Amino acid sequence: MKKIVILALTCSLFGLSSAMAESIVASKVSDDLSKININSKVWQGAKEQSFIAYPQTTIEMIDADVIKLNAHNKAKKILVKALSDGQNIAFLLKWKDSSNNVQEGYSATAYGDGFAVQLPIKLDSLPYIGMGSEGRPVIVHLQKATGKTYEPNGNKDVYHQVNASNQNAFEKDLQTYKGDVTALGNGDYQRAFISEGFRSMTQIKDNSEDAMMQMSYSKGMWSGVIVRKLKSANLDLSKGTFPVAFAFWDGDKKNRDGAKVLSSWLGVSVQGSNVKLSYLDEMNGGDAKNGEQVMLDNCSSCHQYKEIKNAPNFMAPNLSNIGGYSNASYLVESITHPNAVVVPGYNVNAHPSYPWYSVDDKGVRTSMMPPFDSLDKKSLTDLVAYLKTLKAEVE
């Protein structure tokens, strides 16, 4: 509770405006959305909106190939349509992708295109954008583009599936194998997780967070759809205003885990809802030029960002795109109360010289970043204004 009060205070002190920067309006329709799919007519009348998804640069994968393939990633413009029937929320997303990567069978080197939708379980504060954080869990719905894969038991629960290249392990001839693929092939990879940060993701295997998800590729564009209930075992979005975030993986660039493009928390309001969530408000004003100097003086010894690489590699999250996928309130909170959200994505043992946090015997994480709660109001506002400029250009 204490944290929320602090955050609310910080927001009002630092002049966050009442306008949601990037927001999505879900039009109310009378159609039963639990029965629609990606091709339904109901989408035709829906208003097209857009948002930007930025390359996630917080965590660099330890894979030279992936680093090289993603070094010059630009931000992506995503088209979105949103509908609600009062019971369900439905999003139709469209994004450009010059290659259609469908993951076929099990292979450690096959990467499919895919997308994910994140929804916070608690609506009193913003979770870490990279799939939630300790104490601020999210539901993640993940859909990957997959081809037919053979699951020996037919239960659609085998992850390490078999493909034609290692069929010998099953001592079957090719015809039998192909027959099995046809009969038992699972063409769909769709999962729901509860997550309090990367590597804490628990798959939801009962039907409590069911969603209808689909992907289809045509003329250099992916379309992806999700329809799910506003109210379920873990979520209650029935007040009609809530944050959502979207992530997109490009198989061609071997995207997986943190190598992806990611939106900030976007405010969804179902047509007619007048609930306000102040943490989605954006900041007015601030002198980004002065903020740049504040950043250089206070932050560049630990954080790398854009061409500033004074800090050693891996010392702290790379902030080159932080302004793209972070909301102003999250930035204010990160600077003044680093322990409110400790970036959970990094394995504390991966680079033992620079752990990002310590863990006590109760498992509580404490950030290595000192709280900058003594910065004066102007410096903080300027700093956030500068951080908001840190983002890749749109492709």
Residues that bind ligand HEC (CB under 6 A): 58, 295, 298-299, 301-303, 316-317, 322, 331, 334-335, 338, 342-343, 356-357, 367-369, 372, 383
Query: Is 83 in a helix, a strand, or coil?
Result: strand
Q: Report the residue number, 181 or 383, with the smaller CB distance to ligand HEC.
A: 383
Q: How far is the CB of 4 from ligand HEC (least distance, A)?
A: 18
Q: Rounded to an integer, what distance in angstroms lies between the CA atom of residue 157 and that of residue 346?
A: 28
Q: Report the residue number, 66 or 343, with the smaller CB distance to ligand HEC.
A: 343
Q: How far is the CB of 82 from ligand HEC (least distance, A)?
A: 26
Q: Report the residue number, 59 or 145, with the smaller CB distance to ligand HEC.
A: 59
CB burial of residue 76 (10 Å; 0-12, 13-18, 19+): buried
CB burial of residue 59 (10 Å; 0-12, 13-18, 19+): buried
Q: How far is the CB of 395 from ligand HEC (least distance, A)?
A: 22
* Pure H helices in 1-131: 2-13, 64-69
Nearest to 193 by CA among 119, 125, 259: 119
Pairing of strands 241-249, 261-262: antiparallel
Q: How far is the CB of 364 from ligand HEC (least distance, A)?
A: 13
Q: How far is the CB of 41 from ligand HEC (least distance, A)?
A: 41
* Share in percent of the chain as helix, strand, coil (round to 5): 20, 30, 50
CB burial of residue 40 (10 Å; 0-12, 13-18, 19+): middle
Q: Report the residue number, 93 or 392, with the smaller CB distance to ligand HEC.
A: 392
Q: How far is the CB of 225 from ligand HEC (least distance, A)?
A: 29
Q: Report the residue number, 11 or 204, with the smaller CB distance to ligand HEC.
A: 11
Q: How far is the CB of 322 from ligand HEC (least distance, A)?
A: 5
Nearest to 341 by CA among 351, 327, 352, 354: 327
Q: Report the residue number, 190 or 336, with the smaller CB distance to ligand HEC.
A: 336
Q: Report the residue number, 58 or 103, with the smaller CB distance to ligand HEC.
A: 58
Q: How far is the CB of 343 from ligand HEC (least distance, A)?
A: 4
Q: Report the residue number, 26 or 390, with the smaller CB distance to ligand HEC.
A: 390
Q: Rounded to an integer, what distance in angstroms lies between the CA atom of residue 248 and that of residue 260?
A: 6
Q: Rounded to an integer, what distance in angstroms lies between the CA atom of residue 40 and that of residue 52?
A: 25
Nearest to 115 by CA among 194, 223, 25, 212: 223
Check residue 162 and report its DSSP letter: B
Q: How far is the CB of 311 from ligand HEC (least distance, A)?
A: 8
User: What are residue 121's phi and psi, to 5 degrees?
Assistant: -80, -35
Q: Report the residue number, 233 or 359, with the smaller CB distance to ligand HEC.
A: 359
Nearest to 341 by CA among 58, 12, 142: 58
